[in-house]
Structure 1
Amino acid sequence: MTKRLLVIHYTPPAVIGGVEHIMQEHLRLFENAGFSVGFVAGREGEPGASVTVIPEIDPARGTGGLVERQLDSGDVTPAFHDARDSVLRQLRPLVREADTVIVHNAFTLHFSLPLTAALWQLAREGLTSMIAWCHDLAWSNPLYVPLMHNGGPWELLRRPAPGVCYVTVSEERRRELSSLWGRAEHGIEVVPNGIDPDEFLLLSPGTREIVRTHLLYDRDIVLLLPVRITRRKNIESAIRVIRALCDRGLDPCFLVSGPEALHHPGRSARYLDTLTQLASELDVERHVIFLAAEMGANPDDRTVSELYSVADVLLFPSSSEGFGIPILEAGLRRVPVVLTDIPIFREVGGQDVVRFDLDEEPDSVADAVLRSLDKPPARLYRRILREYRWEALANRRIIPLLEHVMRDTHSE
C-alpha cells in the first residue's frame, strides 16, 4: 500500500527560496521511493501540483501578514486565535489521512505562529507521526531574537513538541536546538541538504546514463582517456595502473571514450581484443570501460566534454603523440593530468601536469595519480558525491528515517 506523506510549509516548492528548493528535491526522492506526497502551503503552487492552500499560514499576505505584524509587536490578539483555530480545522483532516507529516521550519521559526500553535495541538492529539524539519531557529538567530517574547506562542518555538521527531540540517543546528531545549542532543536527527550533480553539471541524458550504468558517482576515482584505440596510446599500461589502484582497496573506473581507428580498423580491433583480454586477466573488467564499443557509437563532443565534469583525472599514457588535445580539454575543465614524459607532452603540459616515464612501474604511476588528487578541490568533490548527493542521502538517511518514524508510530 502506498504511504502518504503530507508536507507543510508557508509557501510551496514553486516559490523561489532555499527551503522551497529543498522541498522540491525531497518531492522527487519521495516519489522515486514510492510515496504519495501532498503539500499544504499558504499560497498556490505550480499548475497541477497537489497543494492544499490555507491562506492564514502565508506570512506575507492577508490575515497571515496582519497577525505576524501584531505578534512581532508582542500582541496576541483575537486575530491570532481565530487564525490558529481556522488552520487547525483545515489541517486536522489532512493530517489524519497522512502516514507521516513533514513540517518545514514551522516548529522552530516564527513566520506563522498560528500554524505553529495548530501543529502543537495536532501533535498532542497524536493523529499520525510528525517530523519537524528544522532549517532555521528563531530563538538562536540574532536577527529574530528581538522579535521573540516570553510566554505565549513564541515559547513553543524553543520547546520540543510531544511525540515529534526533530530533524536539523546540520550539526550546528542540532547543537543550537539542544541548547534551547536545555538537554542533550540525543534524539535530534541530522539530515544535511544535498545537491543533484546531474542537474548542477547540466549533464545530457546520454551522459547521465553512462554515470548511472557505471556508478561513476560511487567510485573512488574516475580516470578518463578520450582517444581512439591505437597501439601508440599505450592503453595497456593504464589498465595495469587500474589493477594497482584496485590492489590498494580502491574502486576506480577507467573510461576510454574513443572508437577503433578508422584508418586501420583491423589492427585497431585486434588491439581492442588484446586490451579486453588483459582487463579480464587482471580481473579489472568492471573497472575498465571502452565506451564507444559498449555504446556501438562514438560518444559525441558534448558527451566527452561532460565526461570531464565527472572525471577525477586524465590518465594519458601515450608512447607518442602529434600534439595531445586532451591536455587542453582537461585544463579547461580543471581536471588534473597524469601523463607520460614524452617531448610533446612536456611542451603542451609544461609544469602543470604530472609526468611519469614510459617504463615506470604501475604502482609508481598509481602513486602519481593519487598525488594529483591529494588536493582540497579533488577531495571535496568526492566527499560531496559521497555525503551530499541527494540519492546517497535518500538511501542512507532520508528514506530510512521516514520508515523508522512510521514503524515506531504504527507499533504504538
Structure 2
Amino acid sequence: MTARNLFVRQRSLIGLVHYTAPPVVGGVESVLARQARLLTQAGYAIRIVAGVVDQTLFGVEAVAIPLMYGGHPQIAPLQAALREGQRPADFPRWRQRLRTALSEALRGVEVAILHNVCTMDKNLALTAALYDLVRQEPRRWIGWHHDAVILRSEAPRFPGEPWDLLFRPWPVVHVTVSEARRQALAAAWGIPMEQIHVIPNGVDLEAFFRWTPLTRSLVEQLGLMEADVILLAPVRITRRKNLQAALAVLRILRERTGWDARLVVTGPPGPHSPANRAYLEELRHLRTAWGLEGAAHFLCEFVAEGLPEEAVADFYTLADAVLLTSQEEGFGLPVLEAGLARLPVFAYSLPPLEELGGADVFLFPETEGPEDLAAAIARFMETDPVARLRRRVRQQFAWSTLIQARLIPLIEDDHLPVP
C-alpha cells in the first residue's frame, strides 16, 4: 500500500504553524503554502495556524492568531525588551494567552509541523507557548528548522527562558533543509545527526512554468517527473517524420545507458490522409515489439485532437532535448522553439534545419543511423552541467516528489516517537 493510499484512508489532520503565512511573502511562507497545497491534493486535511493568513488559501482550514506575529502592536514592545535580555513582568501572561489560543487552534490536529518557531527569535512568547504545548499535549510534533539562532555567532545568549529554548533541542521530530544544516545543528546541540531528518526545499515545476491543467494531468499520468531523460518530438504523426527512427534512438539510448529515457510525441496523426492512422498503428506495434510501452508516449492517445499550442510550449519546459528524425522538411519550427526554450536539438541533417540551426544544433547524416544520435544524446546528458542540473532538479527537488517520498513517510511513520 502506498503512503498516499494509506493516508487517504486514515485522513489525518495536519497542522502547519508559522509566524505568518501567505499572503505574506517569504521563503518559509512559500514552503508552507506548497506543503498545504500538495498535502491537500494527497488527501490530507490541513489546518494552517499563523499570525497572518489568507483564510481562503487553497481551500484549507486557516486559523489566524494575530499575537503570533512578532510585529503585532501588543507583541512588538515585548519582543524589543526580550531581545535586549530583559523579561517584562507581563511575559508569563502573554505566554499563557498564546498557549491557550494555540491549544484551541490545534484541537484535533494529529501532526503539527512547526516552521522555524523552535529555533528562531521572531516571537519569543510564541516560542515559549509552543514549548509548553509540546511538553503537555501528546501528538506528533515536527520541528522544521529552516534557520536557527544557535548557528549565528553574533546572536546574544541570555540565561533562562525563553532565550535558552532557542539553544537546546526540543522533544520533537527534527527536520532541517540541508545536510549542512543537519551537521551544524547536530554539533551545536550535541546530538547524533541521525536524530535530524533532511527534507530540502523544492521547486514547484507546475507553478514555476505556469503549466496548463492539461499538461499537469499528462505529466502525472505518464510519470514524467521520474524520467532520467525526456526527448521531445513536437511533430504530427506522418510517415515523413520518420518516427520509427525516433523510437530506435529511444530504444538504443535506454539499452546502452540503463536510463529511464522517454520520448514524447505531441502531435496527432496528420488529418489529410487515412494512411497516417495506419502509420500510428505501425508505431504502436513497434513500440510493443521493442518493449517501449511505458517509455514512448504518443499524446494523441490521451488528447485525440492533439495538444493546444500552450500545452506544447509547456512540454518544452519539461523536456531535456528535442529529437527530430524527419526525412523531409520545408522549414523546421521546432528548431526555433528549442532555441527559445534553451534545449539542444538532435536531428537528421536536412537543408532547412542546417539553415535554421547551423552549428548550434546537433545534425547527423541519416546514413549514420539512430546509434549515432543515441550516443550523442548520452554524451551530452552526461557532460553538460546544465543538463545534469536540470535532470537532478526535476528528479530530486520537485515539491511533489519531496512531499510523497519524504514528508508523508515521516508523517505516517509509527516508529517515530510521539514526544
**TM-score clears 0.5:** yes
Q: Which moved more, 1:101-110 or 1:265-274?
A: 265-274
Assess, with a 3 A threshold, how the Cα gap between structure 1 residues 403 and 363 changes in structure 2: closer, same or farther.
same
Counterpart pick for 1:31 among 31, 40, 43: 40
> Shift in Å at residue 316 of structure 1?
0.7
Q: 3-state DSSP class of the match of 2:368?
A: coil
> Shift in Å at residue 178 of structure 1?
1.5
Counterpart pick for 1:177 among 174, 185, 191: 185
Counterpart pick for 2:353 among 334, 345, 351: 345
Q: Does 1:72 align with 2:83?
A: yes
Counterpart pick for 2:389 among 380, 384, 387: 380
> Counterpart of 2:242 in structure 1: which amino acid?
N
Q: Does 1:117 align with 2:165?
A: no
Q: Deviations over 1:221-274 (max 9, x none)?
A: 1111122223222211111111112213222221222233344x1332332232
Assess, with a 3 A threshold, how the Cα gap between structure 1 residues 92 and 267 changes in structure 2: closer, same or farther.
closer
Separation in 2 of the partners of 1:256 and 1:172? Answer: 41
TM-score of the pair, normalised by structure 1: 0.92
> Counterpart of 1:36 in structure 2: which amino acid?
A
TM-score of the pair, normalised by structure 2: 0.90
Assess, with a 3 A threshold, how the Cα gap between structure 1 residues 261 and 87 changes in structure 2: closer, same or farther.
closer
Alignment of 1:185-224 (within 5 A): 185-224=193-232
Aligned residue number for residue 102 of structure 1: 113
Counterpart pick for 2:30 among 21, 34, 47: 21
> Counterpart of 1:110 in structure 2: which amino acid?
D
Assess, with a 3 A threshold, how the Cα gap between structure 1 residues 96 and 199 changes in structure 2: closer, same or farther.
closer
Separation in 2 of the partners of 1:92 and 1:215? Answer: 41
Q: 3-state DSSP class of the match of 1:13?
A: coil
Q: Which moved more, 1:48-57 or 1:274-283?
A: 48-57
Q: 3-state DSSP class of the match of 2:284?
A: helix
> Counterpart of 2:320 in structure 1: which amino acid?
D
> Counterpart of 1:343 in structure 2: which amino acid?
P
Cα RMSD after superposing both structures: 2.1
Separation in 2 of the partners of 1:18 and 1:25? Answer: 11
> Counterpart of 1:113 in structure 2: which amino acid?
L
Q: Does 1:233 align with 2:241?
A: yes
Assess, with a 3 A threshold, how the Cα gap between structure 1 residues 247 and 160 changes in structure 2: closer, same or farther.
same
Q: Deviations over 1:68-95 (max 9, x none)?
A: 1011111011132221121122223444
Aligned residue number for residue 396 of structure 1: 405
Aligned residue number for residue 130 of structure 1: 141
How many residues get paired?
406
Separation in 1 of the partners of 2:286 and 2:72? Answer: 68
Assess, with a 3 A threshold, how the Cα gap between structure 1 residues 285 and 127 changes in structure 2: closer, same or farther.
closer
Counterpart pick for 2:168 among 143, 159, 163: 159
> Counterpart of 2:130 in structure 1: which amino acid?
L
Counterpart pick for 1:43 among 39, 52, 64: 52
Aligned residue number for residue 333 of structure 1: 341
Q: 3-state DSSP class of the match of 1:51?
A: strand
Q: 3-state DSSP class of the match of 1:152?
A: coil
Q: Which moved more, 1:35-44 or 1:324-333?
A: 35-44
Assess, with a 3 A threshold, how the Cα gap between structure 1 residues 150 and 250 changes in structure 2: closer, same or farther.
same
Counterpart pick for 1:260 among 253, 269, 272: 269
Assess, with a 3 A threshold, how the Cα gap between structure 1 residues 97 and 206 changes in structure 2: closer, same or farther.
closer
Alignment of 1:252-331 (within 5 A): 252-263=261-272, 265-331=273-339
Q: 3-state DSSP class of the match of 1:186?
A: helix
Q: 3-state DSSP class of the match of 1:351?
A: helix
> Shift in Å at residue 293 of structure 1?
5.0
Consecutive unaligned residues of structure 1, counting only runs of 5 or more, are: none
Assess, with a 3 A threshold, how the Cα gap between structure 1 residues 126 and 27 changes in structure 2: closer, same or farther.
same
Separation in 2 of the partners of 1:251 and 1:49? Answer: 36
Aligned residue number for residue 100 of structure 2: 89
Assess, with a 3 A threshold, how the Cα gap between structure 1 residues 328 and 407 changes in structure 2: closer, same or farther.
same
